[in-house]
Amino acid sequence: MFTGIVTDIGSVTSVETRGDTRVVIATAYDTASIDLGASIACSGVCLTVVEKGPDWFAVDVSAETIGRTADQWTTGQRLNLERAMKLGDELGGHIVTGHVDGVGTVVSVAEEGGSHRVFVSVPADLAPFMATKGSVTVDGVSLTVNSVEDMADGTVFGLNIIPHTAAVTTLGGIGEGQRVNIEIDVLARYLQRMEHYRGR
């Protein structure tokens, strides 16, 4: 389990396909404190550490995960990293599972004061879970939805990227047309499930 508060920006240093795809990620984490088998969220995707070195760790990414996520898995790609939370850690964002629900596309980015106003389009199946002032995870970053506009083929929601978030995550370089990993608020999914059965 994670919180959507990024604690490092890693960089993909190698990608090798051997059944699954093995991805090596450079990090500023103290890897001596990372156990093999530990979970790390990589731009919102919960992955298991299978190897490590003094300043890197490796994860195996399945074909299914690659097919369901945005285009992170190339050499040089920067990734938002977060280690799994421990009992007693501060829940600074919201509850994040690291299970990506879909891929969104950035439709526009505009400066607004010192921040960036970003609009993201998501498929229609995610539309019921988008709510103004609700939480959403974008590339592993916990954010608040500022606006929602439903379209015929999906939904566009608005976000505000403050300077601090831009500085400590990859979202500082977000651009129009970019694909991003989306995880909806798990509480919203449970509520929809409850409503579905209540109406039966």
- pLDDT of 196 > 70? The answer is no
User: Looking at residue 159, what is its pLDDT?
Assistant: 97
Examine the domain organization and report whether 122 and 192 are in the same domain: yes
Q: For residue 89, is it within any domain?
A: no
User: Looking at residue 18, what is its pLDDT?
Assistant: 81
Q: For residue 97, is it within any domain?
A: no
Examine the domain organization and report whether 36 and 69 are in the same domain: yes
Examine the domain organization and report whether 147 and 185 are in the same domain: yes
Examine the domain organization and report whether 123 and 171 are in the same domain: yes
Q: What is the SS3 assignment for 29?
A: coil
- pLDDT of 56 > 80? The answer is yes
Examine the domain organization and report whether 33 and 68 are in the same domain: yes
Examine the domain organization and report whether 107 and 69 are in the same domain: no
Examine the domain organization and report whether 107 and 170 are in the same domain: yes
Kindly give, in sequence order, each residue whose CB lies less than 8 Å from that of residue 62, ignoring residues fewer than 6 positions away.
20, 21
Write the DSSP assignment of 44-72 as a string of letters: TEEEEEEEEETTEEEEEE-HHHHHHS-S-
- pLDDT of 73 > 80? The answer is yes
Examine the domain organization and report whether 107 and 186 are in the same domain: yes
Question: Scanning the structure block, which residue is given the tokens 């608040």?
Answer: 144
Q: Alpha helix (H) ranges present in 34-184?
A: 63-68, 163-168
Examine the domain organization and report whether 75 and 116 are in the same domain: no
What pLDDT, in 10s, does the model give residues 131-168?
A: 999 999 999 999 999 999 998 889 999 999 999 999 99
Q: Which of 124-133, 156-165, 185-194 has the lowest average pLDDT?
A: 185-194
Strands (E), 113-176: 115-123, 135-138, 141-144, 147-151, 154-161
Examine the domain organization and report whether 134 and 76 are in the same domain: no
Kindly give, in sequence order, each residue whose CB lies less than 8 Å from that of residue 113, ignoring residues fewer than 6 positions away.
none
The number of folded domains in the chain is 2
Examine the domain organization and report whether 106 and 160 are in the same domain: yes
**Among residues 83, 112, 142, which one ends one of the domains?**
83
35 against 197, higher pLDDT = 35
Q: For residue 90, is it within any domain?
A: no
Q: What is the SS3 assignment for 118?
A: strand
**Among residues 26, 54, 83, which one ends one of the domains?**
83
User: Looking at residue 85, what is its pLDDT?
Assistant: 82
Kindly give, in sequence order, each residue whose CB lies less than 8 Å from that of residue 71, ignoring residues fewer than 6 positions away.
77, 179
Examine the domain organization and report whether 127 and 177 are in the same domain: yes
Q: What is the SS3 assignment for 170?
A: helix
Q: For residue 2, is it within any domain?
A: no
Domain that holds residue 123: 102-198
